[in-house]
């Protein structure tokens, strides 16, 4: 070499070789070295992990280097360049075409080749392996004239290959020698579930099946002879029976080879020869070969680091995997086979749903060691980091794998790797990182990371992560309601109560600044409403209300409203049903039975609301408050009146409670349920308060209805009399209304109470704070002052005045609202932009 | 939407018909316009169409103030997904790359008139 610059040669341009070059450029290795890459394949590195998607997306989408060149001019890539010999002494590589290349440092990244067992007939036409894009092109060509395909090998790659063969429209068989699929990663229970799910997709799985010979006619494949089983017909055969390290160059150069193949390297990925390194599947650190791409990437980074004089070492790799095979979730992590002495296994299996989950737990039951998930791998994001971080298991580890709704996961301290926003794939660590970079509110973090910007269901969780993060750092967390009020909702509630304020203006002048906003105004409105119970549309109240309360209807996506009359406990007369039906028919509304045993009427225009409600009020209905942060429904089952199992009259109790608490404004909407016996037909434990009848009275549960994070209500008190039930419920609801955060559900409020359920029980039942009487009095005052706000609205022209389409054209309906039809009823149609009506003859010109 | 400086101003309603810190919808040259009145007595008009939800609803949003660069800005929050729009300019405070039309407004002898779309002010 004449140049004073040194040269690194990389043999192999697969995923790992490419990663090495990228890391070398990124970390400045090319400041001192030129890099030459020799690739044997005709194309530059591509995403082999996603190989199966080649049929859908093509080779361009898979390529890591579509231009065929690296941006750094000191890196050159030679394709179709097969190295056949290396001379470590002379530091020279010889290519197949006779050319020679000198090197200062040599990196072997030659990968692996597919293993084809020595079976008779393996050289017949239409026998393939599954490794390169060229293989896939050949399989596709042969598949055009084929009906049946057989994949030999039921490991990860074999199932990928089977997926590809199925995609090509062939009847597909998977033949696996081991007694289960994916024998390396998963246990027999998981294997059974996986087999069943894959068979449901139309593939045939043969496990414990040994291939004796590949049969052929006229030089082409015709079938597969299996030991002790019927012969399978096959037009194509794909081998996916494992891979072997591509270590031939290393052997020829007399490098030390591991016992089971692969070039032996130390923790820096150095081979037995100075200046030669090996990374990826051709290498065997500590004698062990890794058939996954992630460890190969780690090795590439380690070598770059070493060449720069760094200390990085390769210490073995996490072999956890999560993937979707043929649409079935499969994940395996940590000690999946329970090889740790004394380890315990916890298994949840639902054969009907195709779900199998196993946790491997340490002997003392305190740590998670590993696990297997088939059919539902949603917990992988939380469980795998738990293994790595050594986070202590919760008291009931089964909650981690039981179906959602059992509450275990929601109460866990999540590891940083856990995905919080699944719409945008944002982890807890990224959210904390955003907080460290200056974001102080959930809104800031959402802007920065996109967490919560799509469906929004994780916003509350994002907020809590930020608060906990700052609290952990000893930073005083600003719990201000918004920029206008430097206090929490609970504090503001007390301020209003103590001073006896009756209007927003009084409150903001005395305790806030500015004119308020869309956060504090509805919060103050709710606080005033639960203390005064005046009409939400009174002067001074109505500009505080969110649109639902401002127009006493539930705003839907096209700007129309839904109307929900109260049907307490779900009990309704035939006359009532007919009246609702007639109103819906006359106004052309969409009707649907709600989840809370009522009837929703959708699609009412703003200006139609008073007329719709006039009809409903005349028919004896009142507001169902479906629009408010308020009590919605108390659901009931049939109860002891009709049901042969009923213990108590759940219908009467549900009606009584719904009427007792109707109109009650609260930090979040509230729902209740009353079941007449433990069969729980009213699903009462999914509610903010749930009541289940016993032979001795009522069991009271609170804090269910977690919204995006499902939560079951927990037992507050048992075997209550009617009177005690009302008393405890009054106290519970008022205590929640006074102390919860804005938009905080009962479940998260209960979680946030220091002392949790025990503390709540002390307050509500033992009256530890001495406020029970006051809470009851506050509820009594609410009950006494209840009136139907829709009836009051339609009787007051001043209030009705505001229900109009246009202030200067009250008879003209909004042209932006239009409807289509689905299943015989109206559906909203999206308007594309502001709609113009042309030039109407209205108003006077100036 | 076209910019037409010669367009006539349209009478909307008496200013007292708009409750303080609320909006009303009005029809101006065939377009739905939201007209707001603030606590300080200022009157503003924006397009009623919320570009995030594709619904004509902004007049039904909550009106308030927000501090932007040390200045108190009057805004309306869309009732659908709650994005805040500056009442003076129609610029979305949460996503400044999005803005809606703001209209010329005058109040004469207690009556509100709305005219054409305000020209965009380069600051």
B5 within some domain: no
CATH code (residue A436)? 1.10.10.1100
Give the whole-angstrom CA distance, residue A435 versus residue A417: 16
Domain boundary (A215, A244, A273) is at A244
Burial code of A342-378, b = ≥16 C-beta within 10 A, e = fewer?
Answer: ebebbebbeeeebbbbbbbbbeeeebbbbbbbbbbbe
User: Between A517, A550, A816, which is nearest B66 by CB?
Assistant: A517
Beta strands A75-78 and A33-38 are parallel
SS3 call for A265:
strand
B101 within some domain: yes
A370 within some domain: no
CATH code (residue B101)? 2.102.10.10
A338 within some domain: no
Q: Is the confidence at residue B2, as pLDDT, over 70? A: no
Residues A231 and A200 in one domain: yes
The number of domains in chain A is 5
Q: What is the pLDDT of residue A468?
A: 83
- Residue A317's Cβ-count burial label (10 Å; 0-12, 13-18, 19+) is middle
Residues forming beta bridges with residue A63, ordered by sequence position: A46
Residue A505's alpha-carbon distances to A74, A444, A491, in angstroms, are: 70, 29, 18
Domain containing B83 equals 12-114
A486's CB contacts (< 8 A; 6+ apart) are A480, A512
**Which residues in chain A are closer than 8 Å to B25, comparing Cβ atoms?**
805-807, 814
Residues A133 and A216 in one domain: yes
B119 within some domain: no
Q: What is the pLDDT of residue A225?
A: 94
Residues A35 and A155 in one domain: no
> Which A residues in the span 424-443 are in contact with B, Cβ-Cβ below 8 Å?
443
Give the whole-angstrom CA distance, residue A66 versus residue A88: 33
Please tell me which residue of chain B has the smallest CA distance to A805.
Answer: B25
Tokens standing for A147?
Answer: 């009906």
Containing B113, the helix (H) or strand (E) segment is strand B111-117
User: Between B1, B9, B65, which is nearest A517 by CB?
Assistant: B65
Give the whole-angstrom CA distance, residue A375 versus residue A86: 48
Residues A215 and A255 in one domain: no
SS3 call for A185:
coil
Q: Do residues A218 and A121 lie in contact, with contact meaning Cβ atoms separated by under 8 Å?
A: no
User: Between B10, B30, B60, which is nearest A547 by CB?
Assistant: B60
A183 within some domain: yes
> Which A residues in the span 539-558 are in contact with B, Cβ-Cβ below 8 Å?
539, 542-547, 550-551, 555, 557-558
Residues A678 and A758 in one domain: yes
**Yes or no, beta carbons of B11 and A808 under 8 Å apart:** yes
Give the whole-angstrom CA distance, residue B79 versus residue B52: 11
Residues A106 and A148 in one domain: no
User: Tokens 């054209």, residue?
Assistant: A809
Q: What is the pLDDT of residue B7?
A: 64
The number of domains in chain B is 1
Give yes or no for B32 touching A (CB within 8 A): yes
**Yes or no, beta carbons of A809 and B27 under 8 Å apart:** yes
Q: Is the confidence at residue B59, as pLDDT, over 70? A: yes
**Yes or no, beta carbons of B55 and A544 under 8 Å apart:** no
A791 within some domain: no
Please tell me which residue of chain B has the smallest CA distance to A482.
Answer: B66
Residues A715 and A771 in one domain: yes
Please tell me which residue of chain A has the smallest CA distance to B101.
Answer: A834
CATH code (residue A695)? 3.30.413.10
Give the whole-angstrom CA distance, residue B34 versus residue B32: 7
- Chain B interface mutation, best of A517, A606, A811, highest count of B Cβ atoms under 10 Å: A517
B55 within some domain: yes
Sign of CA dihedral A786, A788, A793, A795: negative
Tokens standing for A376?
Answer: 């539902």
A515 within some domain: yes
Please tell me which residue of chain B has the smallest CA distance to A538.
Answer: B19
Q: What is the pLDDT of residue A413?
A: 67
Q: What is the pLDDT of residue A271?
A: 96
Domain containing A514 equals 489-545
Tokens standing for A798?
Answer: 């001043």
User: Between B25, B65, B80, which is nearest A806 by CB?
Assistant: B25
Residues A29 and A147 in one domain: no
A627 within some domain: yes
User: Mean pLDDT of residues grouped by 10 in chain A (846 residues)?
Assistant: 76 94 92 94 88 82 86 92 94 94 96 92 94 93 94 90 91 94 86 89 92 93 93 94 92 93 95 95 92 86 93 81 75 86 87 86 88 83 72 77 54 70 75 86 80 66 82 78 91 91 93 92 93 86 91 93 96 96 96 95 96 96 95 95 93 97 95 94 95 95 83 92 97 95 90 84 94 95 94 93 92 88 90 54 35
- Chain A interface mutation, best of B79, B86, B110, highest count of A Cβ atoms under 10 Å: B79
A405 within some domain: no
Residues A472 and A517 in one domain: no
Residues A100 and A147 in one domain: no
A164 within some domain: yes
B120 within some domain: no
pTM here is 0.57
Q: Per-residue pLDDT averaged across B92-116, rounded?
A: 92
Q: What is the pLDDT of residue A615?
A: 97
Residues A660 and A733 in one domain: yes
Sign of CA dihedral A381, A385, A387, A391: negative
CA nearest A427: which of A382, A372, A376, A477? A382
Give the whole-angstrom CA distance, residue A728 versus residue A745: 19
Residues A452 and A535 in one domain: no
User: Between B19, B72, B84, which is nearest A514 by CB?
Assistant: B72
Domain boundary (A223, A244, A265) is at A244
3 state SS for A689-752: EEEEEECCEEEEEECCCCCCCCCCCEEEEEEECHHHHHHHHHHHHHHHHHHCCCCCCHHHHHHH
Residues forming beta bridges with residue A647, ordered by sequence position: none
């Amino acid at each position: 070499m004449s140049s004073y610059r040194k040269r690194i040669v990389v043999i192999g341009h697969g995923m790992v070789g490419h990663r090495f070059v990228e890391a070398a450029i990124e970390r400045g290795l090319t400041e001192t070295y030129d890099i030459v890459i020799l690739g044997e394949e005709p194309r530059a590195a591509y995403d082999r992990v996603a190989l199966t998607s080649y049929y859908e997306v093509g080779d361009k989408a898979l390529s890591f280097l579509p231009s065929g060149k690296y941006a750094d001019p000191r890196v050159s890539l030679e394709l179709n360049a097969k190295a056949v010999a290396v001379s470590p002494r002379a530091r020279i590589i010889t290519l197949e075409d006779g050319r020679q290349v000198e090197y200062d440092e040599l990196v072997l990244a030659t990968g692996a080749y597919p293993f084809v067992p020595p079976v008779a007939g393996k050289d017949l036409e239409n026998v393939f392996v599954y490794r390169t894009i060229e293989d896939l092109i050949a399989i596709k060509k042969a598949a055009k004239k084929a009906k049946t395909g057989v994949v030999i090998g039921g490991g990860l790659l074999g199932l990928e290959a089977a997926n590809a063969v199925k995609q090509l429209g062939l009847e597909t068989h998977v033949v696996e020698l081991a007694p289960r699929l994916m024998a390396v990663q998963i246990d027999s229970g998981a294997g059974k579930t996986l087999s069943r799910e894959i068979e449901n997709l139309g593939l045939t799985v043969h496990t414990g099946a040994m291939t004796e010979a590949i049969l052929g006619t006229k030089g082409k494949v015709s079938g597969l002879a299996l030991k002790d089983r019927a012969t399978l017909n096959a037009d194509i055969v794909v081998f996916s029976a494992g891979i072997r390290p591509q270590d031939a160059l290393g052997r020829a150069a007399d490098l030390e080879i591991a016992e089971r193949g692969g070039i032996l390297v130390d923790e820096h990925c150095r081979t037995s020869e100075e200046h030669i390194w090996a990374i990826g599947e051709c290498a065997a650190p500590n004698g062990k070969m890794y058939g996954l791409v992630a460890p190969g990437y780690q090795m590439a980074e380690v070598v770059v680091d070493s060449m720069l004089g760094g200390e990085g070492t390769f210490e073995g790799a996490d072999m956890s995997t999560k993937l979707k095979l043929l649409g079935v979730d499969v994940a395996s992590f940590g000690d999946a086979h329970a090889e740790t002495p004394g380890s315990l296994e916890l298994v949840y299996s639902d054969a009907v749903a195709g779900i199998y989950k196993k946790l491997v737990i340490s002997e003392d039951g305190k740590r998670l060691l590993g696990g297997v998930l088939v059919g539902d791998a949603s917990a992988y994001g939380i469980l795998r980091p738990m293994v790595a971080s050594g986070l202590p298991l919760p008291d009931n580890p089964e909650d981690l794998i039981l179906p959602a709704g059992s509450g275990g996961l929601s109460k866990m301290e999540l590891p940083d790797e856990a995905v919080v926003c699944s719409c945008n794939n944002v982890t807890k660590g990224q959210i904390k990182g955003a907080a460290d970079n200056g974001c102080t509110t959930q809104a800031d973090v959402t802007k920065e990371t996109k967490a919560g910007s799509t469906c929004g269901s994780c916003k509350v969780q994002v907020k809590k992560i930020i608060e906990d993060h700052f609290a952990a750092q000893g930073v005083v967390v600003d719990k201000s309601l918004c920029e206008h009020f430097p206090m929490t909702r609970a504090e503001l509630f007390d301020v209003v109560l103590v001073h006896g304020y009756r209007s927003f203006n009084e409150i903001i002048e005395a305790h806030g600044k500015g004119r308020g906003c869309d956060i504090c105004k509805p919060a103050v409105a709710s606080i005033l409403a639960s203390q005064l119970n005046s009409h939400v549309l009174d002067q001074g109240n109505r500009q505080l209300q969110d649109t639902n309360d401002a127009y006493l209807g539930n705003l839907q996506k096209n700007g129309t409203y839904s109307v929900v009359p109260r049907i307490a406990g779900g009990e309704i007369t035939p006359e009532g049903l007919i009246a609702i039906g007639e109103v819906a028919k006359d106004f052309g509304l969409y009707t649907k039975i709600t989840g809370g045993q009522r009837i929703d009427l959708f699609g009412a225009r703003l200006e139609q609301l008073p007329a719709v409600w006039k009809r409903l009020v005349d028919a004896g209905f009142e507001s169902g408050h479906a629009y408010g942060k308020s009590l919605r429904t108390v659901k009931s089952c049939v109860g002891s009146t009709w049901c042969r199992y009923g213990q108590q009259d759940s219908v009467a109790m549900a009606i009584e409670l719904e009427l007792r608490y109707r109109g009650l404004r609260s930090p979040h909407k509230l729902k209740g349920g009353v079941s007449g016996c433990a069969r729980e037909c009213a699903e009462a434990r999914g509610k903010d308060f749930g009541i289940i009848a016993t032979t001795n009275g009522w069991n009271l549960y609170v804090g269910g209805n977690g919204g995006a994070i499902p939560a079951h209500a927990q037992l507050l008190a048992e075997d209550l009399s009617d009177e005690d039930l009302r008393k405890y419920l009054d106290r519970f609801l008022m205590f929640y209304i006074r102390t919860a955060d804005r938009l905080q559900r009962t479940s998260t409020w209960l979680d946030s109470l220091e002392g949790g359920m025990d503390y709540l029980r002390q307050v509500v039942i033992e009256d530890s704070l001495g406020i029970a009487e006051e809470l009851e009095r506050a509820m009594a005052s609410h009950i006494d002052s209840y009136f139907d706000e829709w009836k009051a609205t339609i009787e007051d022209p001043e209030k009705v005045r505001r229900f109009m389409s246009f202030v200067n054209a009250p008879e003209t309906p909004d042209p932006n609202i239009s409807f289509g039809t689905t299943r015989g009823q109206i559906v909203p149609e999206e308007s594309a932009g502001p709609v113009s009506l042309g030039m109407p003859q209205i108003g006077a010109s100036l | 939407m076209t910019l037409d400086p010669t367009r006539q101003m349209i009478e909307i309603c008496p200013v007292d018909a708009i409750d303080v810190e609320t909006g009303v919808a009005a029809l101006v040259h065939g377009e739905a316009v939201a007209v707001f009145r603030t606590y300080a007595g200022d009157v503003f008009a924006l397009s009623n169409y919320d570009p995030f939800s594709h619904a004509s609803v902004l007049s039904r949003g909550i009106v308030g103030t927000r501090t932007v660069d040390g200045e108190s800005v009057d805004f309306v929050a869309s009732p659908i997904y709650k994005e805040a729009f500056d009442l003076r300019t129609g610029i979305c405070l949460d996503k400044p790359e999005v803005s809606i039309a703001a209209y010329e407004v005058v109040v004469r002898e207690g009556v509100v008139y709305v005219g054409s779309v305000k020209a965009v002010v380069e600051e």
